[in-house]
Amino acid sequence: MRVALHFPKLGSATTVSVHCCPFSVANKLWDDHMTRGMPAGSQTTLRSHATVTGIGVHSGSPATLTLHPAEPNSGIVFLRSGIGGQRDREIAANFRSVIATEFATVLGDQNGPAVSTTEHVLAAVHGLGIDNAVVEVDGPEVPIMDGSAQAFVEAIDQAGIVAQQASRRCIKVLKPVRVGKNGSFGELLPYARGLRIETEIEFDHPIIGRQTYALNVEPAVFRRELARARTFGFMRDVAKLWSAGYALGASFENTVVIAESRVLNAEGVRFPDEFVRHKAVDAIGDMALAGAPLIGCYRSVRGGHKLNHAVLCALMADRSAWTYVEMPEMVRRTRGHAEVTGLAAPNYGPEVS
């Protein structure tokens, strides 16, 4: 296989930091380690800036990505800069901005694509509970880094997370919405405890076969279980991908490369089920495009970016299938701990440093 090694190794596997819960309150639904003493339900942003530099996995183009703080209620916005004398373009990280889903989620507007492969940085931002940020990218594609969300988690840690003076508004799924095609399906289901992701993949390949993974998305769990799961690809597909203009920046440094009967990367896999975990990362990134934290369960069976987008569009198109909920209405805090009042409190919360 001609998997080009385009650049020196970016760095070996990094240590995953897990923040411990400073409290011990049994049977609560809202984990204090997710808010770390800050008001539950407050919006969050970054404390300062952080930058990562790399190449796009599909374009091969170099790009620098900078995470910036943003005002309350502004959401996640991509800023495409460095467009040769033209004006920077702002694209909301929203399902309405999706203009392509082949092998990556591409955002743009009526002027065409603005930034490609948005899913891993969005997964990190969403997975760590950040509501408002500007993601500036000075090239056509988010740098792939090591193929996982880890570099973006580290950048967020470097910038820090702060609570803002605004309550968080979530999108609560009220009834099931399902999209299926050719043996694949995706569905969003009511689920009271925040965002839950369930992914299943099945490949006719001895290295993968059928794998399933499920988790409730919380910052500590995202860091520990998902952030390091990398993009994967099959050697048998490479020639076709290259001729179609994809995977031009793919290498052993950013992709788990699967041959007939083995993984070709010298370091092997990071988890035995790294493949399905990565599918969960992609799903979290794509669900961030709801534009607000989802309270619901997203289940994907043999799906991908196209299906993720289709299900989110189907949900949002059915106004009876979801509603906005303000977090303070759902959680009352007493002596620093969350108490559940009436409705179950979502498990989705910011991790504020």
Q: Which of 126, 52, 118 is nearest to 91 (CA)?
A: 118
User: What is the smallest separation between the CB atom of 319 and Zn ion, expressed in angstroms?
Assistant: 30
Q: Which of 281, 221, 218, 285 is nearest to 35 (CA)?
A: 218
In the bound state with Zn ion, the residue whose beta carbon lies nearer, of 145 and 321, is 145
Q: Which of 120, 278, 305, 309 is catalytic?
A: 305
Per the structure block, which two tokens stand in for 20?
Answer: 């411990």
In the bound state with Zn ion, the residue whose beta carbon lies nearer, of 231 and 251, is 231
Q: Answer for the pair 83, 107: CB distance below 8 angstroms, yes or no.
A: no
> Beta partners for 53?
64
User: What is the smallest separation between the CB atom of 279 and Zn ion, expressed in angstroms?
Assistant: 8
CA angle 82, 88, 90 (to 5 degrees): 125
User: What is the smallest separation between the CB atom of 120 and Zn ion, expressed in angstroms?
Assistant: 6
**Choices 39-47, 134-142, 257-265, 278-286 (CB under 5 A): range interacting with Zn ion:** 278-286
* Largest distance between two CA atoms of the chain: 61
Measured distance CA(137)–CA(156) in Å, rounded:
15
Q: Name the strand (E) or helix (H) holding 53.
A: strand 50-55
- What track of x and - describes contact with Zn ion for positions 203 through 242 (by CB under 5 A)? ----------------------------x-----------
In the bound state with Zn ion, the residue whose beta carbon lies nearer, of 69 and 147, is 147
Amino acid in position 316 = M
In 58-138 the beta strands, taken as DSSP E runs, fall at 62-69, 76-80, 89-92, 98-100, 106-109, 112-115, 133-137
Measured distance CA(285)–CA(279) in Å, rounded:
10
User: How many residues are listed for the chain in this entry?
Assistant: 353
Q: Determine whether 67 is exposed, middle or buried from the number of CB atoms within 10 Å of its CB (0-12, 13-18, 19+).
A: buried
Q: How far is CA 165 from the centre of its chain?
A: 25
User: What is the smallest separation between the CB atom of 89 and Zn ion, expressed in angstroms?
Assistant: 23
Per the structure block, which two tokens stand in for 79?
Answer: 């800023």
**Choices 11-19, 69-77, 174-182, 281-289 (CB under 5 A): range interacting with Zn ion:** 281-289
In the bound state with Zn ion, the residue whose beta carbon lies nearer, of 57 and 295, is 57
User: What is the smallest separation between the CB atom of 123 and Zn ion, expressed in angstroms?
Assistant: 8
- 282, 286, 296, 349: which one contacts Zn ion (CB under 5 A)? 282
Q: Which residue is nearest to Zn ion (CB)?
A: 282
Q: How many residues bind Zn ion (CB under 5 A)?
A: 2
Restricting to residues 150-179, which ones interact with Zn ion according to CB under 5 A? none
User: What is the smallest separation between the CB atom of 340 and Zn ion, expressed in angstroms?
Assistant: 35
Does residue 240 come out as left (phi exceeding 0), alpha (psi in the -120 to 50 range) or beta? alpha
CB-based contacts of 54, cutoff 8 Å, min separation 6: 10, 62, 63, 143, 144, 145, 151, 254
In the bound state with Zn ion, the residue whose beta carbon lies nearer, of 105 and 347, is 105
**Choices 67-75, 192-200, 254-262, 282-290 (CB under 5 A): range interacting with Zn ion:** 282-290
In the bound state with Zn ion, the residue whose beta carbon lies nearer, of 45 and 231, is 231
User: What is the smallest separation between the CB atom of 45 and Zn ion, expressed in angstroms?
Assistant: 25
278 noted as active-site residue? no
In the bound state with Zn ion, the residue whose beta carbon lies nearer, of 41 and 233, is 233
Count CB neighbours of 15 within 10 A.
5
Chain residues that interact with Zn ion, rule: CB under 5 A: 231, 282
Catalytic residues, which ones?
Answer: 305
